[in-house]
Amino acid sequence: MSRSVRALRLKLSRHAGFQTYAGSRQYRSTFAPITVLEALEAISERNPELNAFASHITPAEANASESSEGPLMDWPIAVKANIATARSSVTSCASRALYAYTSPFQATVVDSLERAGAAVVGKTNMDEFGMGSKNKFSIYGSALNPHTPALVAKQDGMTELDRHTPGGSSGGSAAAVAAGMCRAALGSDTGGSVRLPAAWCGVVGFKPTFGRISRHGLVAYGSSLDTVGIMARDVADVQSVFDIVAVPDPLDMTCMTSSLRARIKALASSRPWITQAHGPNRSESAPLAEIRVGIPEEYWVNELSEPALESWRAGASRLAALGCEVVSVSLPHTPSALPAYYALAWAEASSNLARYDGIRYGRRSDIRPDTRNLQNASQKYANTRGEGFGAEVQRRILLGTYVMSSAASEHYFTPSQKIRRLIQEEFDNVFALPNALSATQPLALSASRPLGVDVLLFPTATGAAPRLSDQEDSRVANYVNDVMTVPASLAGIPAISIPAGHADGMPLGLQLAAQYGDDDLLLCVARHL
C-alpha cells in the first residue's frame, strides 16, 4: 500500500463554522474591505520595510483620478511590474533592460478592472522577467515576507537575508495582499509564480485555465505557459476579480473564444452528480456532496516536509467532512514534469527575450565600440544585453538557446514536448469531466456517474517559505521549489493555492486543480475548503 493511501485512512470529523453560499454567485468576503486611501496609508507605512511595490500612486493622485462606478468600486488593486499600465507608470519587469519603459498601451486585464471601478495603486516587485521563485532577482532588491516569526524578529542584528522570502516571481503582489496594502493583486504564473508566493505569504493565489484571461499587455516569458493570475485574502475576492477579467479578447490570439467558453459551460453543466446535488435542495451539512477529490500519489515527494504533509491530511479530512469522496489517483509522469518544464520555458524565454537588443526594445549600452567591423558591432549588441539582463536571466537565455540548438533539440526540447503531452493526457484520464479541447468528446455526458475525479488536492510547496539566505549554493535546489506547481502549468489547467496552516510561524498552502475550463467548480471547492 502506498504512503498516500495509508495517509488517507484518517479519522474524519466534521468541521463547524464554515459558511455556505448555496445558489448564489454573490459571494461575500470574510475580511473587512480595504479602500484605496486605506491601502495607500498601509503602503506608506509598510512598503519601506517590505519592498513589495516598485512604484505606487500618492493620495493626491488617487483623489485626482476619476473612478468608474462598478462592482469593484474603490477596490485598490496592485499590478505586477510585467503587466502594462499606461500613462506615467513604468512597466520594468524588474529589469535594467526596461527600467524606464513606459508602455504606449494598457493591458486588457487592467482596462477591465478600471472599467469595473477598481483603482491601480501601484506596480509590484518581482523576479526579473518572472524568472525566479524567491523574489531575489530584481533591480529593486528583494521583497520581504510580511510574516516574520516573533522569535526571528527579536534577534539582534537581523539582516535582510535573515528575513523570509515571499516567493516568486510574483512575490511583491503576494506580500502586498498579505500586508493589507491592496485588496487584490495581479500576478503572472508561468510555472507557479502566483501560487507559490501566495502559499508562502498566507493568501489565496489563483492560476486560471490557460486562455481564460487575456494576456494582451503581459510581457512574455514562456508564451505557451504564461497566465495572468489573481491574489487576494480570500476566495470570494478572487472570484469577484475573476468574473470581471475572464472575458474574450480579440487582441490576444491565445485568449479563449466565446464559442469555446460556451462549450466549456455546456460540458460543466451536464454533470448530473453535481447539478442535482448542488441545486436548490443542496445539503447544508454536506455542501460539497457528490464531488470526488483525488489525491495524486506522485506528489508525495521526498522533499515534502512533515508540516506540509500534515496540512495535506487536514485538507483531505476537511473535504471529506464537507461531503466529498476522497480517493487516491496516479499521475505517473509527474516526476518528469519539472525538467520538461524548464527545458520548454527556457527555450521560449530565449526566443521572447531576443527582442531586447537596445534597438527594438530596452536600454542601450553606453559603451561605444568601433562599429566599422562586424566583430565590434556584435560587441555593442553583447554589451547591451549583458548590462540589461541579470545573472539569472542570462543563465536561462543561454540554456534555452542551447536547448533549441540543432545539436540538443532532439535530446531535450522534443522529448519535453512529448512529456508535456503525456502529462496533459494523464490529467484528462483522471478527471471525470472531458477536456473541452478534444474534438471527439461529446457535449453531454451520460446520466451515470463516470469514473474520475472532479478536483485534485495536493500541497502548493514542499514546506514553508525559506529565508533569503537559504540554499545560496544550489541553483537546482531553488528550481525544486516549483515541483508541485509546474504540472498544472504544463497541462494548462486551473489551479489555486489557499492558506492551510503554519510551520514555525510561517504560512503553508494547499493546492486544488481541476479539468481544463472547470474554473468555477474549482473556486467553489476552494471557497469551502
Q: Which of 280, 290, 299 is nearest to 325 (CA)?
A: 290
- Superfamily for the 33-264+464-528 domain: Amidase signature (AS) domain (3.90.1300.10)
Q: Let me know if 193 is a catalytic residue.
A: yes
What is the Cα–Cα distance from 345 to 194, expressed in whole angstroms? 16
Give the integer Cα–Cα distance in Å for 202 and 500. 8
Task: Over range 211-224, report the average pLDDT.
Answer: 97
Residue 381: Cβ-neighbour burial (10 angstroms; 0-12, 13-18, 19+): middle
pLDDT tops 90 at residue 138 = yes
Cβ-based neighbours of 21, under 8 Å, separated by 6 or more: 27, 28, 527
CA dist list (Å): 413 to 54, 156, 446: 35, 49, 39
Residue in 4, 133, 169, 173 annotated catalytic: 169
Average pLDDT of span 272-290: 78
* Residue 169 a catalytic site member: yes
Domain positions in the chain: 33-264+464-528
Which of 79-93, 119-133, 294-308, 365-379 is the least confident region?
Answer: 365-379
| Cα separation, 18 vs 33, whole angstroms | 20
pLDDT at 333 over 90: yes
Of the pLDDT bands very low, low, confident and very high (cuts 50, 70, 90), residue 19 is: very low
Mean pLDDT of 132-149: 92
Alpha helices by DSSP H, listed for 217-373, are 235-245, 258-268, 272-275, 306-321, 337-352
Q: What CA–CA distance (Å, rounded) separates 508 from 315?
A: 12
Out of 80, 123, 136, 207, pick the active-site residue.
Answer: 80
Q: Is the pLDDT of residue 18 over 50?
A: no
Burial 147-180 (b: 16+ CB within 10 A, else e): bbeeeeeeeeeeeeeebbbbbbbbbbbbbbbbbb
Give me the chain's average pLDDT, please: 87
- Whether the ω angle into residue 474 lies within 30 degrees of 0, i.e. cis, is no
pLDDT, tens digit, for every residue of 241-256? 999 999 999 999 999 9
Break the chain down into helix, strand, coil percent, rounded to 5. Answer: 40, 15, 50
- For residues 335 and 257, give the distance between their C-alpha atoms in angstroms, rounded to a whole number: 33
The C-alpha cell 461575500 sits at 28
pLDDT at 118: 96
What pLDDT score was predicted for residue 61?
87
Active-site residue (options: 4, 133, 193, 240): 193
Instruction: Give the separation between CA 33 and CA 76, rounded to whole angstroms.
Output: 10
Distance CA 135, CA 143 (A): 6
Q: What percent of the chain has pLDDT over 90?
A: 70
For residues 223 and 344, give the distance between their C-alpha atoms in angstroms, rounded to a whole number.
10
List pLDDT tens digits, range 27-55.
Answer: 677 788 899 999 999 999 999 999 999 99
pLDDT at 501 over 80: yes
Q: Could you tell me the three cell numbers for 436? A: 473541452
As a whole number, mean pLDDT of residues 494-513 equals 96
Residue 262 near residue 226 (C-beta atoms within 8 A): no
Has 80 been annotated as catalytic? yes
Rounded Cα–Cα distance for residues 199 and 496 (Å): 10
CB atoms within 10 A of CB 18: 12
